[in-house]
Structure 1
Amino acid sequence: MENNNKSIHEFDLNLICEYFLGLKRQGPGSPEVTVKALSFIEGLSKNSSILDIGCGTGGQTIIVAQNAPGKIIGVDLFPAFVEKFNENAKVLGLQERVEGVVGSMDDLPFNDEEFDVIWCEGAIYNIGFQRGLMEWRRFLKKGGYIAATEASWFTEERPEEIEKFWKDAYPGIDTIANKVNQMQKAGYVPVAVFTLPENCWIDNFYVPQTALQEDFLKKHSGNQAAERFVAYQRYEAELYYKYKKYYGYAFYIGRKI
């Protein structure tokens, strides 16, 4: 397959946005996992401020809002995601507490120590786990929490095919132990770490893409870039089914020292 060694970052951003806009979630996860991560965060009140970086259309942000007090700002690079995010918040009557804004995670327009919690599900890889932890730390109040999912190796050794795929797609992938060490070095006390179950990937991410892919290809009939992108997504799913015991997402929760 010609696109096996291609990274998702090499595809057209407009195509990526259009494709993932059709999904309820733009990455692996579940309401149960979000609530579980929230359970490790203490001291939130109606005056708390939460920032969800790389919020997408807000699948996880809405769950946070429904299970935690305070005001929540979601930030994402894609205006179409943010527009849908705000529509979803309004439909659920959360618009007074939840707001989506357009912005880049490597140039956030916020004040130092503005937030009690920084949330990031399935997006920190865009800037890199260690870099994200270090650069976003200044936006957290002392004692504030960061909660992020990150691609992680579950074993010390992996088959060559999956090792090569992730080396090309995200060289920052590492073992859970090394990720915890990175969190400590970035100035956080690790509070909790747990792996996401398979349904977060299969039922909530890969399966919903199957019907969407056919419609996407019909809409972009003859568009080779769209065809290659769908082929890449299908290949990624195949690899997960084949090698899921070797890798996945882990949720890392840390408290700023």
Structure 2
Amino acid sequence: MLGDAFLLLHTDLPREGPGSDECTREALRRLRPLLPPSPRVLDLGCGPGRQTLVLAKELGTPIIAVDSHEPFLKRLEAEAAAQGLGHLVRTRRADFAALEDAPGSVDLIWSEGAIYVLGWGAGLRRWHPVLREGGLLAASEATWLSDSPPSEAADFWREAYPRMGTIASNSATAREAGFEVLDTFVLPAPAWWDEYYHPLEARMASLRERARGDADLATAIAETEREIELYTRYGTSYGYVFYLLRARGQGGR
């Protein structure tokens, strides 16, 4: 199955999407004055958890890392233990579309490159109820940076992520979902290359021989190569944007 091939291709990458420790710290720096001293934090769709570890180090409070893929959680647990952060990282295997946390019980929801699974608006509406009044949400999301992107880029993302919006449209959706938009910033190009595309290129190189006898893996590699080539050519027209939001109301709307 093609899904299995993509999981194989993405095994042992430092990140499952664009991002960097510096971007995580910058988003947290902008929100930190609004957090209580010991916030209750959920990291939704944590993947292998690079950002989880940064949050644990910076906040010094337990981070609840949620993902449905057990190998990611096991890897995060091992890395947290190796860094002396095991007491601050609590993993939870769960579907982040159906959180069981009590309404109004969370101070900060963090999610890097994962909300697209639900869709921007649907994800915000599902997650809003667990935030306390004034609770914060930081999420990075694939976003159009141009109102008139090149046709090749538009065609690719229309198929890959047809719900991708602009900063303006995503901000409007966030307000409709019960949030105040505090700030946004675009992830710089190194956040795509250094910890995502370059490691992904090395992973593809290591699997090329295997792909000769695996049609699904060959397809996964070809599609990934196309994505990387597209970003190389048109990366100024789209990118990942960090949205920093504050919930209005308590236990929902």
Is the pair's TM-score, using the shorter chain for normalization, greater than 0.5? Answer: yes
What is the aligned-residue identity percentage? 34
TM-score (norm 1): 0.92
Equivalences for residues 1-257 of structure 1 within 5 A:
12-41=2-31, 42-45=33-36, 47-257=38-248
**1:201 CA displacement:** 0.7
**1:156 CA displacement:** 0.7
8 A contact 1:118–1:147 mirrored in 2? yes
Structure 2 residue identity aligned to 1:191: L
* Distance 1:136-1:236 versus aligned 2 partners, 3 A rule: same
Q: Structure 1: state its 5+ residue gaps.
A: 1-10
Deviating beyond 6 angstroms after TM superposition, the runs of 4 or more aligned structure 1 residues are none
**1:162 CA displacement:** 0.7
**1:154 CA displacement:** 0.8
**1:114 CA displacement:** 2.0
Structure 1 residue identity aligned to 2:22: E
**1:14 CA displacement:** 2.9
Higher mean displacement: 146-155 or 91-100:
91-100
Q: Structure 2: state its 5+ residue gaps.
A: 249-253
**What is the distance in 2 between the residues matched to 1:94 and 1:202?**
27
Structure number with greater CO (CA < 8 Å, separation at least 6) is 2
- What corresponds to 2:251 in structure 1? none
Structure 2 residue identity aligned to 1:181: A
8 A contact 2:178–2:247 mirrored in 1? yes
Counterpart secondary structure, 1:218: helix
**What is the distance in 1 between the residues matched to 2:71 and 2:4?**
10
8 A contact 1:28–1:200 mirrored in 2? yes
TM-score (norm 2): 0.93
Structure 2 residue identity aligned to 1:32: E
**1:69 CA displacement:** 3.2
CA RMSD of aligned residues (A): 1.4
**What is the distance in 2 between the residues matched to 1:50 and 1:186?**
20
User: Aligned pairs, how many?
Assistant: 247
**What is the distance in 2 between the residues matched to 1:87 and 1:157?**
45
